[in-house]
């Protein structure tokens, strides 16, 4: 039940939580183009781009529960080439989605032993966008603070007062059931962790001899001091990626093994020359008119779930939050949404962007940009100092807007590239 911190924060808005849990459950656990273990590994790759240990550790455990190969947890070098080929689009979507082109799509879909199908790729793209955006929420709401998960231990989410979380989601039948299941899983987790420890130790013992023989053979063939590769005595390899020196299951300690080109990050989007990247204009390609139908056709029903989630966050009540800013709720929410999309180069021709500076004070804009573009840099000072006039539930609401606006932005670029490939 390690997702509990996220569900507690989203529990301030139970209707949204219900929609979120339905979507996540469908992505991870229901019928779909991708095998279950691959889904969780893709989530690990996505979360690692933002150094989100909370999500990485969660999906490492889920990956093993789904029967995933523990060797994959040693890093990208140990996974099938087909899955490793997803790394480039993961990197670009996480940081500069406007760079996605139909050539990236074509490279993954080309006929070869390791090619993706369109349905598989759409499933993978939705997973990547979901986990990138969820990492923003995790950092923005302080869910990464759990020291047991390697968090910074500084952001302290407020409690729900005298109201139990299960009561806070009253009337939320799907969320209630998921929370009941999660609580049951948490009771079983001690036994599961013991089982995982035994499994990892057994695999380590079984592979240690093979690795040593293989490396000794390499030494003989390539000469002393050359080509030894990973040596089993290296503590980064000799220990299971799920075990620390005390034998405790803690999750991967080095997230770098799950990504390539770690220095690749967000850069401010700027209007380009005509022969370079152009502004993405929503009237030319929108979620409602284009993205929804494409994703729903290639990955049945996910379009409806995503659309419900986008509409749900737009419909959340925010009268008090907007009143503090001196405007109507819909105006305030649209200002935040369009500001986030603007940072990714997405523009609405019917919107006056001068409103953004009028509606959002500078400190709030800095916070939104940090959580959206480089969430791993979010810190407690930003959370406390820049949000003094907001209630905690209002802070969560804004972070939900960030989550959904960012996810939709990534999906728009990826789905547009897929559409261009199909044409």
Q: What is the pLDDT of residue 286?
A: 95
Contacts of 332 (CB under 8 A, 6+ apart): 318, 321, 322, 325, 359
Tell me which range, 142-146, 245-249, 265-269, 318-322, is most confidently predicted by mean pLDDT.
Answer: 265-269
On the question of pLDDT at 161 being above 60, the answer is no
Task: Report, as an integer, the average pLDDT of 8-30.
Answer: 95
Q: Find where tokens 């935040």 sit.
A: 336
- As a whole number of angstroms, the distance between CA 244 and CA 259 comes to 21
- As a whole number of angstroms, the distance between CA 402 and CA 398 comes to 6
Average pLDDT, the chain: 78
Residues of the chain with pLDDT > 70: what percent? 72
Strand partners of residue 281 = 347
Neighbours of 95 (CB within 10 A): 18
Q: Are 196 and 64 in contact (CB under 8 A)?
A: yes
Q: Indicate the pLDDT class of residue 330, thresholds 50, 70 and 90.
A: confident
On the question of pLDDT at 96 being above 90, the answer is yes
Number of Cα atoms under 13 Å in the Cβ half of residue 223: 1
Q: Are 221 and 214 in contact (CB under 8 A)?
A: no
- As a whole number of angstroms, the distance between CA 4 and CA 27 comes to 18
Q: Are 232 and 212 in contact (CB under 8 A)?
A: yes
Which residues belong to the active site?
52
On the question of pLDDT at 17 being above 60, the answer is yes
Q: Are 149 and 251 in contact (CB under 8 A)?
A: yes
User: What's the token pair of residue 396?
Assistant: 């969560």
Note the pLDDT tens digit of each residue in 338-387.
Answer: 999 999 999 999 999 999 988 888 888 999 999 999 999 998 777 777 77
Per-domain residue ranges of the chain: 5-144+254-422
Q: Are 410 and 132 in contact (CB under 8 A)?
A: yes
On the question of pLDDT at 164 being above 70, the answer is no
Note the pLDDT tens digit of each residue in 218-264.
Answer: 544 444 333 332 222 232 332 233 333 333 334 445 899 999 999 99
Task: Report, as an integer, the average pLDDT of 162-169.
Answer: 32
User: What's the token pair of residue 38?
Assistant: 């691959």
On the question of pLDDT at 335 being above 50, the answer is yes
Closest-CA residue to 286 (of 404, 416, 400, 118)? 416
Contacts of 73 (CB under 8 A, 6+ apart): 60, 63, 241, 242, 252
Q: Are 137 and 407 in contact (CB under 8 A)?
A: no
User: What's the token pair of residue 140?
Assistant: 């923005």
């Amino acid at each position: 039940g390690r997702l509990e911190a996220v569900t507690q924060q989203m529990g301030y808005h139970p209707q949204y939580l219900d929609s979120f849990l339905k979507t996540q459950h469908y992505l991870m656990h229901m019928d779909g183009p991708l095998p279950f273990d691959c889904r969780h590994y893709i989530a690990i790759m996505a979360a690692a781009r933002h150094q989100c240990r909370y999500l990485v550790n969660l999906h490492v455990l889920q990956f093993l529960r789904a029967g995933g190969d523990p060797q994959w947890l040693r890093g990208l070098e140990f996974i099938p080439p087909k899955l490793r080929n997803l790394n480039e689009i993961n990197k670009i979507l996480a940081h500069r989605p406007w760079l996605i082109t139909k050539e990236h799509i074509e490279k993954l879909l080309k006929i070869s032993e390791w090619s993706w199908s369109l349905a598989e790729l759409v499933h993978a793209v939705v997973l990547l966008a979901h986990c990138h955006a969820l990492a923003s929420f995790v950092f923005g709401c302080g869910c990464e603070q759990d020291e047991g998960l390697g968090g910074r231990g500084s952001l302290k989410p407020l409690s729900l007062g005298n109201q139990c979380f299960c009561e806070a989601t009253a009337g939320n039948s799907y969320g209630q059931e998921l929370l009941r299941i999660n609580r049951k899983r948490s009771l079983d987790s001690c036994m599961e962790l013991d089982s995982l420890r035994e499994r990892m130790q057994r695999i380590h013992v079984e592979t240690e001899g093979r690795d040593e023989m293989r490396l000794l053979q390499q030494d003989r063939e390539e000469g002393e001091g050359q080509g030894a590769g990973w040596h089993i005595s290296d503590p980064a390899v000799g220990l299971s990626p799920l075990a620390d020196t005390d034998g405790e299951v803690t999750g991967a300690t080095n997230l770098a093994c799950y990504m390539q080109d770690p220095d690749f990050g967000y850069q401010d989007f700027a209007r380009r020359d005509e022969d370079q990247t152009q502004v993405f204009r929503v009237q030319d390609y929108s979620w409602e008119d284009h993205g929804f139908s494409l994703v729903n056709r290639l990955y049945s029903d996910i379009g409806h779930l995503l659309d419900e989630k986008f509409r749900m966050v737009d419909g959340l009540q925010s009268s008090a939050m907007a009143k503090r800013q001196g405007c109507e709720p819909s105006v305030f929410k649209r200002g935040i949404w369009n500001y986030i999309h603007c940072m990714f180069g997405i523009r609405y021709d019917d919107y006056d962007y001068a409103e953004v500076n009028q509606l959002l004070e500078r400190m709030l804009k800095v916070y939104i940009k940090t959580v959206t573009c480089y969430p791993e840099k979010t810190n407690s000072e930003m959370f406390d100092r820049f949000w003094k006039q907001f209630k905690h539930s209002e802070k969560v609401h804004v972070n939900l807007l960030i989550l959904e606006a960012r996810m939709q932005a990534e999906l728009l670029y990826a789905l547009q590239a897929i559409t261009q490939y199909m044409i």
